[in-house]
Amino acid sequence: MLKTIVHVGVLTALFAVAACSTSTPSAPQVPAAEQARQARIDSAAPTCVAPGARAAKLVTYPTKGDDLGLAYSAGKGSTAVVLLHQSDGDLCQLTPYAELLAQRGLRGFAVDITQPSRVDDTIAAVAYLRKEGVTKVFVVGTSMGATTAIVASAQIQPPVDGVVSLSGPALYDGMDAGAAAKNLTVPVIFAAGETDGNFATDAKAMAASCPSKHKVLSILPTSDHGVSLLNGAMKPAVADFLGI
Protein backbone atom coordinates (compact mmCIF):
# COMPACT_ATOMS: atom_id res chain seq x y z
CA MET A 1 0.00 0.00 0.00
CA LEU A 2 1.24 3.40 -0.99
CA LYS A 3 1.40 5.84 1.97
CA THR A 4 1.15 9.58 1.49
CA ILE A 5 3.21 11.58 3.96
CA VAL A 6 2.64 15.32 4.24
CA HIS A 7 5.01 17.32 6.37
CA VAL A 8 3.35 19.16 9.28
CA GLY A 9 5.03 22.43 8.32
CA VAL A 10 3.42 22.29 4.88
CA LEU A 11 -0.06 21.88 6.40
CA THR A 12 0.55 24.80 8.73
CA ALA A 13 1.54 27.01 5.82
CA LEU A 14 -1.52 26.00 3.82
CA PHE A 15 -3.87 26.84 6.70
CA ALA A 16 -2.17 30.22 7.14
CA VAL A 17 -2.65 31.06 3.47
CA ALA A 18 -6.31 30.04 3.62
CA ALA A 19 -6.88 32.19 6.70
CA CYS A 20 -5.28 35.24 5.07
CA SER A 21 -7.35 34.83 1.91
CA THR A 22 -10.67 34.90 3.79
CA SER A 23 -9.97 37.73 6.31
CA THR A 24 -11.62 41.15 5.77
CA PRO A 25 -9.60 44.36 5.91
CA SER A 26 -10.02 46.36 9.12
CA ALA A 27 -12.01 49.59 8.98
CA PRO A 28 -9.98 52.81 9.06
CA GLN A 29 -9.71 54.45 12.47
CA VAL A 30 -11.86 57.55 12.94
CA PRO A 31 -9.92 60.34 14.71
CA ALA A 32 -11.08 61.08 18.25
CA ALA A 33 -11.91 64.69 17.36
CA GLU A 34 -14.24 63.58 14.57
CA GLN A 35 -15.88 61.03 16.87
CA ALA A 36 -16.55 63.79 19.41
CA ARG A 37 -17.97 66.04 16.69
CA GLN A 38 -20.30 63.33 15.43
CA ALA A 39 -21.42 62.49 18.96
CA ARG A 40 -22.29 66.15 19.60
CA ILE A 41 -24.26 66.38 16.36
CA ASP A 42 -26.06 63.13 17.12
CA SER A 43 -26.99 64.40 20.59
CA ALA A 44 -28.72 67.41 19.06
CA ALA A 45 -30.21 65.50 16.10
CA PRO A 46 -30.92 68.61 13.97
CA THR A 47 -33.56 67.38 11.52
CA CYS A 48 -33.35 70.56 9.43
CA VAL A 49 -29.82 69.74 8.22
CA ALA A 50 -29.46 66.84 5.80
CA PRO A 51 -26.57 64.45 6.58
CA GLY A 52 -24.81 65.51 3.39
CA ALA A 53 -24.91 69.18 4.40
CA ARG A 54 -23.70 68.76 7.99
CA ALA A 55 -20.01 69.18 7.19
CA ALA A 56 -20.69 72.54 5.56
CA LYS A 57 -23.40 73.92 7.83
CA LEU A 58 -22.78 72.55 11.33
CA VAL A 59 -19.90 73.89 13.43
CA THR A 60 -18.62 72.43 16.67
CA TYR A 61 -16.42 74.51 18.95
CA PRO A 62 -14.77 74.04 22.36
CA THR A 63 -16.56 75.13 25.51
CA LYS A 64 -15.62 74.24 29.09
CA GLY A 65 -13.48 71.17 29.65
CA ASP A 66 -13.80 68.67 26.83
CA ASP A 67 -17.35 69.71 25.94
CA LEU A 68 -18.33 70.95 22.49
CA GLY A 69 -20.82 73.58 21.46
CA LEU A 70 -22.84 73.14 18.29
CA ALA A 71 -24.17 75.75 15.87
CA TYR A 72 -25.64 76.13 12.41
CA SER A 73 -23.51 78.65 10.55
CA ALA A 74 -24.65 80.67 7.53
CA GLY A 75 -22.70 83.40 5.77
CA LYS A 76 -19.15 84.71 6.18
CA GLY A 77 -19.62 88.33 7.19
CA SER A 78 -17.41 90.21 9.64
CA THR A 79 -20.54 90.87 11.73
CA ALA A 80 -22.08 87.82 13.37
CA VAL A 81 -25.39 87.27 15.11
CA VAL A 82 -25.59 84.51 17.70
CA LEU A 83 -29.15 83.16 17.64
CA LEU A 84 -30.57 81.37 20.69
CA HIS A 85 -33.77 79.32 20.37
CA GLN A 86 -36.59 78.85 22.83
CA SER A 87 -37.30 75.80 25.01
CA ASP A 88 -39.85 74.20 22.67
CA GLY A 89 -37.33 73.94 19.82
CA ASP A 90 -33.70 73.52 18.84
CA LEU A 91 -31.27 75.32 16.54
CA CYS A 92 -33.56 74.48 13.61
CA GLN A 93 -36.00 77.05 14.96
CA LEU A 94 -33.64 79.85 13.91
CA THR A 95 -31.85 78.47 10.85
CA PRO A 96 -34.19 80.35 8.46
CA TYR A 97 -33.29 83.61 10.20
CA ALA A 98 -29.60 82.66 10.05
CA GLU A 99 -29.94 82.24 6.29
CA LEU A 100 -31.73 85.59 6.04
CA LEU A 101 -28.81 87.25 7.83
CA ALA A 102 -26.40 85.56 5.43
CA GLN A 103 -28.32 87.03 2.50
CA ARG A 104 -27.88 90.47 4.07
CA GLY A 105 -24.11 90.06 4.41
CA LEU A 106 -23.95 88.98 8.07
CA ARG A 107 -23.02 85.65 9.61
CA GLY A 108 -25.96 83.86 11.24
CA PHE A 109 -24.90 81.49 14.02
CA ALA A 110 -27.81 79.48 15.45
CA VAL A 111 -26.58 77.74 18.60
CA ASP A 112 -27.95 74.55 20.12
CA ILE A 113 -28.82 75.43 23.74
CA THR A 114 -30.87 72.34 24.60
CA GLN A 115 -28.23 71.36 27.15
CA PRO A 116 -27.87 72.86 30.68
CA SER A 117 -24.48 74.27 29.59
CA ARG A 118 -26.34 76.82 27.44
CA VAL A 119 -24.74 79.91 29.02
CA ASP A 120 -21.21 78.51 28.68
CA ASP A 121 -22.00 77.42 25.12
CA THR A 122 -23.12 80.95 24.25
CA ILE A 123 -20.04 82.57 25.76
CA ALA A 124 -17.83 80.08 23.91
CA ALA A 125 -19.70 80.73 20.64
CA VAL A 126 -18.79 84.42 20.81
CA ALA A 127 -15.16 83.54 21.56
CA TYR A 128 -15.11 81.12 18.61
CA LEU A 129 -16.51 83.72 16.21
CA ARG A 130 -13.97 86.30 17.31
CA LYS A 131 -11.15 83.83 16.72
CA GLU A 132 -12.61 83.32 13.25
CA GLY A 133 -12.11 87.02 12.52
CA VAL A 134 -15.57 88.39 13.30
CA THR A 135 -15.29 92.01 14.48
CA LYS A 136 -18.87 92.66 15.65
CA VAL A 137 -21.13 90.24 17.51
CA PHE A 138 -24.79 90.56 18.46
CA VAL A 139 -26.74 88.07 20.57
CA VAL A 140 -30.44 87.55 19.81
CA GLY A 141 -32.51 85.26 22.02
CA THR A 142 -36.11 84.09 22.04
CA SER A 143 -37.82 83.10 25.31
CA MET A 144 -35.40 80.71 27.08
CA GLY A 145 -32.80 81.87 24.56
CA ALA A 146 -33.43 85.49 25.57
CA THR A 147 -32.74 84.68 29.22
CA THR A 148 -29.57 82.91 28.11
CA ALA A 149 -28.59 85.88 25.94
CA ILE A 150 -28.84 88.35 28.84
CA VAL A 151 -27.03 86.14 31.36
CA ALA A 152 -24.23 85.22 28.94
CA SER A 153 -23.78 88.73 27.52
CA ALA A 154 -23.40 90.22 30.99
CA GLN A 155 -20.31 88.00 31.40
CA ILE A 156 -18.64 88.28 27.98
CA GLN A 157 -15.47 90.36 27.73
CA PRO A 158 -14.89 92.35 25.69
CA PRO A 159 -18.61 93.09 25.56
CA VAL A 160 -20.76 92.11 22.61
CA ASP A 161 -22.13 94.86 20.38
CA GLY A 162 -25.78 94.40 21.27
CA VAL A 163 -28.40 92.09 22.76
CA VAL A 164 -32.01 91.40 21.79
CA SER A 165 -34.34 89.76 24.32
CA LEU A 166 -37.64 88.59 22.84
CA SER A 167 -40.09 87.28 25.47
CA GLY A 168 -37.28 86.46 27.89
CA PRO A 169 -38.34 85.35 31.39
CA ALA A 170 -36.37 86.93 34.22
CA LEU A 171 -35.79 83.47 35.73
CA TYR A 172 -35.37 80.19 33.89
CA ASP A 173 -33.77 76.90 34.95
CA GLY A 174 -31.31 78.49 37.37
CA MET A 175 -30.53 81.48 35.13
CA ASP A 176 -31.25 84.91 36.63
CA ALA A 177 -31.62 87.41 33.82
CA GLY A 178 -33.11 89.94 36.21
CA ALA A 179 -29.83 90.11 38.12
CA ALA A 180 -27.72 89.94 34.95
CA ALA A 181 -29.61 92.84 33.35
CA LYS A 182 -28.28 95.10 36.11
CA ASN A 183 -24.77 94.53 34.70
CA LEU A 184 -25.66 94.90 31.03
CA THR A 185 -24.26 98.14 29.60
CA VAL A 186 -24.34 97.34 25.86
CA PRO A 187 -27.20 98.37 23.53
CA VAL A 188 -30.18 96.15 24.26
CA ILE A 189 -33.79 95.59 23.25
CA PHE A 190 -36.28 94.13 25.73
CA ALA A 191 -39.46 93.10 23.92
CA ALA A 192 -42.58 91.08 24.76
CA GLY A 193 -46.23 90.78 23.84
CA GLU A 194 -48.58 92.70 26.13
CA THR A 195 -50.96 89.75 26.45
CA ASP A 196 -48.27 87.04 26.59
CA GLY A 197 -48.47 85.99 30.23
CA ASN A 198 -45.90 87.55 32.58
CA PHE A 199 -43.24 88.10 29.92
CA ALA A 200 -44.15 91.77 29.47
CA THR A 201 -43.86 92.32 33.23
CA ASP A 202 -40.39 90.74 33.23
CA ALA A 203 -39.30 92.80 30.21
CA LYS A 204 -40.37 96.03 31.93
CA ALA A 205 -38.56 95.13 35.16
CA MET A 206 -35.32 94.17 33.40
CA ALA A 207 -35.38 97.29 31.22
CA ALA A 208 -35.91 99.46 34.30
CA SER A 209 -32.90 97.98 36.12
CA CYS A 210 -30.58 97.82 33.09
CA PRO A 211 -27.92 100.60 33.19
CA SER A 212 -27.37 100.68 29.41
CA LYS A 213 -27.61 104.14 27.88
CA HIS A 214 -28.89 102.56 24.68
CA LYS A 215 -31.83 100.41 25.73
CA VAL A 216 -35.25 100.00 24.17
CA LEU A 217 -38.39 98.55 25.76
CA SER A 218 -40.98 97.32 23.27
CA ILE A 219 -44.27 96.03 24.63
CA LEU A 220 -46.44 95.13 21.69
CA PRO A 221 -50.25 94.64 21.54
CA THR A 222 -50.00 90.93 20.83
CA SER A 223 -49.72 87.52 22.45
CA ASP A 224 -46.98 86.46 20.03
CA HIS A 225 -44.03 84.87 21.78
CA GLY A 226 -40.32 84.61 21.07
CA VAL A 227 -39.68 83.40 17.55
CA SER A 228 -43.12 84.63 16.47
CA LEU A 229 -42.10 88.14 17.52
CA LEU A 230 -38.81 87.87 15.65
CA ASN A 231 -40.58 86.83 12.46
CA GLY A 232 -43.50 89.20 12.98
CA ALA A 233 -44.02 92.43 14.88
CA MET A 234 -40.39 92.87 15.95
CA LYS A 235 -38.79 91.95 12.63
CA PRO A 236 -38.26 95.55 11.39
CA ALA A 237 -36.94 96.77 14.75
CA VAL A 238 -34.48 93.88 15.08
CA ALA A 239 -33.32 94.36 11.48
CA ASP A 240 -32.67 98.04 12.18
CA PHE A 241 -30.83 97.17 15.40
CA LEU A 242 -28.57 94.75 13.49
CA GLY A 243 -28.04 97.22 10.67
CA ILE A 244 -29.70 95.14 7.95
- Domain around 194: 31-242
Q: How far apart are CA 82 and CA 42, in angstroms?
A: 21
Residues 156-170: pLDDT tens digits?
999 999 999 999 999
Residue 10: pLDDT above 90? no
pLDDT at 26: 63
Judge whether 97 lies within some domain.
yes
Q: State how many domains the chain has.
A: 1
Residues 84-103: pLDDT tens digits?
999 999 999 999 999 999 99
Judge whether 83 lies within some domain.
yes
Asked if 97 contacts 109 with a C-beta cutoff of 8 angstroms, the reply is: no
Domain of 182, CATH number, reads 3.40.50.1820
Judge whether 77 lies within some domain.
yes
Please tell me the pTM assigned to this model.
0.87
pLDDT at 48: 93
The least confident of 26-40, 107-121, 205-219 is 26-40
Residue 38: pLDDT above 90? no
Mean pLDDT of 196-203: 98
Judge whether 233 lies within some domain.
yes
pLDDT at 45: 79
